[in-house]
Structure 1
Amino acid sequence: MRRIDANGTSIACEVSGTGAPVVLIHGAEADHSMFDAFGALLAEHFTVVAYDQRDSGGTRNPPLSYGLTEMADDAAALIAALGYERAHVFGTSLGGVIAQVLAVRHPARIDRLVLSSTFRAGVPPLSINPDAFPRLAALRAGLPGTAAEIATFFFPVAHIAAHPEVVDIFNGTSRTAEQRQRRAGILAQAVACDLAAITAPTLVLVGADDRLIPPAHTLSLARAIAHAQTATLPGLGHVATLQAPDVVARAVIAFLKTRSGGNDHVDAMEGIARAS
C-alpha cells in the first residue's frame, strides 16, 4: 500500500500493473480490497489504482462531515498526485455515484468511465428500492445473526449456497462509530451532477440479478449520458466484482480497449455477457 496526500486527506492506495491507469472506486461498506481479484485481472493490461475512500481502510481524513463533492475531488486529486493527467475510472455502487460526480466536476481527469451497479447521483436509494433499504437497516441492527440474509441482497442465493464463506463479509465492520456516522451522512449532502455534462465515453454495467439496485435504474443512466453503452451480465448480483471478477474484467477490458463506439460495441458487450 502507498499513502498519497491529496485534497487534505491521506489516501491509502494500491498500485499494480503497467499501461494506461485505471482508478477503481469501491462501494459504501467496502474498501479497496473488494477489488483484489478483479484488479489483478485488469493489471495484466493496465496500471490499476485501487484506493480507500474517506473513513475506509487505511485512508485518514479530517474528522469532518463530507459528501460526494469532496469524495469526487479526492479521486481527482489522487489521479493528479500519482502523476497522471487523466485515467480510466471504474466505480461500483456508491463508487459509481462518486464516479458520476468526478466525471462532471473534473472532466479533464477522465479518459473512459465505467458505472457499475450504481444509482443516479442526487437520488436517494430509498426511492429506488423502498423495500430493500429499510429491511437492510433492520438486519444490520441484528448482526451477527442476520449476516446470511444480508448477503442475499448482494449475491444471488445460488452463489451463496456454492460459496457460503461470502456471508462472513457481512459479519462486522472495522469502522469506528464516528466513521460510520460520517459515512451514513454522505448522501445527505447536496450535490449538483448533470449527467448530460459527462463527456467521457461511458459504459453502464449491471448484474442481471442485482437485488439492491434494480438493473433498470442503473441502465437508465445511459439515457442521460451522450453515447453511453450498456452491458448486462446474466446471473450476477450487486457485487459482481466479488462474485465473478473474471466476467466483469472481460467486459471492462473490452470496453477500455475498444476505441470505436455505437451499437456494434453494445452488441459486443452483450456477446461477452452471454458467453460468460
Structure 2
Amino acid sequence: MLAQVATVTTQNFSMDYCKFGQGAETLVVIPGLSAQSVMPMADLMADAYKLLTDDFTIYVFDRKKGELTMPYTIKDMADDTAEAITELGLSNVNIFGASQGGMIAMEIAIEHPELVDKLVLGSTSSHVRDDEFQVFDTWIKLAKERRAEELYLNFGEKVYPEDVFVGSKEGLIQASKTLTDEDFSRFIVLTESLRHFDITADLNKITCPALVIGSKTDKVLGGNASELIALSLSNSSDCELYMYDGYGHSVYDCAPDYPERILKFLKK
C-alpha cells in the first residue's frame, strides 16, 4: 500500500505527515522517539497498519520541522500535534501513540479533550524520573559525541527483542551512516524532553476510552509504567490493559497480533 507524504503548515510551524487508508473514521498515529524522521518509511507503515485501512483513514505525524531549541517539552509537542490535527480539519479522532508518542497522546487528551474519541497507548509511561533516565542519558551522550553507529546499535539493543536486534544490526549500521548534524541536534532536544516528565497526577483528567498495551520485558520504560497508567486512568469511560510477556519495548512493531488488538478496541 502506498502512503501519501505531505506537509501541514500552521501559523506557527510546518509538520510532515503521511496519510493512507480509506475508512470513514480517523486514526492519528504518533510515533516514538527516533534519530531520524519516520516519513521515508511511510509505505512500510502503511503496510504495517493495512488491517485498519478499510475502517480508518490514518494520519502519521512527525515532529515539527526545522531547528529545535530547548526546552521543547512533551506538552509543546502535544500542542503542536493538536494544532496540526486542527489545521487539517480533523476532529473526534482516535489516537495511537507509541513510546514518546504515547506521552504526546496523553497530553493531547488532557489539554485538548475535544479532539479525542479514543486512545491507544503503546509501550509508554506517564513519567520518566531521574533514576529511570539512564538509557536516555546514554543516547544523549552518544549523540553529542556524534557516535552514530554506537547510538543506533545501543538504541536497537534496548528497543528490540534480541533476535530482532541481531537480525537488524547491519541495517542499523547502514542507517547510522546517513545521520546529519541536524538529525543529531533534533534527537538531543527530543530526548531531553523526557527528563523530569511526569503527568501521572493529571491522568484522571482523561475521560475517553483508552487501551493501554505494554510489555513485561520493556528495557526502556519498563512494563510497570503501562500498569500504572491503566490504574491512574480512573475517570476513563472504558480502560483496558493488555501486557505482552515478550517482544520488548518495540512490541508495537514486533507482535503480529498488535494491529488486530487496536482494531478490536477501536471498533467495539
Counterpart of 1:268 in structure 2 is none
Aligned residues: 250
- 1:18-55 Cα offsets, whole Å, 9 max, x none, are 2211111111225344644433443233110001113x
2:16 corresponds to which residue?
A: 12
**Does the 8 Å CA contact 1:67/1:188 hold for their aligned counterparts?**
no
- Of the three residues 163, 169, 187, the one matched with 1:180 is 187
CA gap 1:169/1:198 in 2 versus in 1, 3 angstroms: farther
Q: How does 1:108-257 map to 2 (within 5 A)?
A: 108-120=114-126, 123-128=127-132, 130=134, 132-136=135-139, 141=145, 142-145=147-150, 147-165=152-170, 167-168=172-173, 171=176, 173-174=179-180, 176=182, 177-188=184-195, 194-226=202-234, 227-244=238-255, 246-257=256-267
SS in 2 for 1:31: coil
Measured after TM superposition, the shift of residue 11 of structure 1 is 1.2
> Which residue is 2:52 aligned to?
42
Q: Which moved more, 1:197-206 or 1:209-218?
A: 209-218
C-alpha spacing 1:153/1:62, structure 2 compared with 1 (3 Å): closer
The whole-number CA distance in structure 1 between the counterparts of 2:11 and 2:210 is 26
**TM superposition score normalised by structure 2:** 0.80
Amino acid at match of 2:48: F
Amino acid of the structure 1 residue aligned with 2:26: P
- Residue 174 of structure 1 deviates from its aligned partner by 4.4
Identity across the alignment (%): 23
**Within 2, Cα distance between the matches of 1:138 and 1:150?**
12
SS at match of 2:211: strand
Q: Which residue of 2 aligns with 1:2?
A: 6
The match for 1:25 is 30
| 8 Å CA contact 2:130, 2:195 repeated in 1 | no
Deviation of residue 164 (structure 1)? 4.2
Distance 1:190 1:150, change over 3 A: closer
Contact conserved, 1:150 with 1:170, CA < 8 A, in 2? no
TM-score computed with the length of structure 1 as normaliser: 0.78
Contact 2:79 2:108 in 1 (8 A): yes
Pair 178,158 (structure 1): closer, same or farther in 2 beyond 3 Å: closer
Hey, what's the Cα distance between the residues in 2 that align with 1:198 and 1:152? Answer: 33
Q: Is there any run of 5+ residues in structure 1 with no aligned partner, and where?
A: 259-276
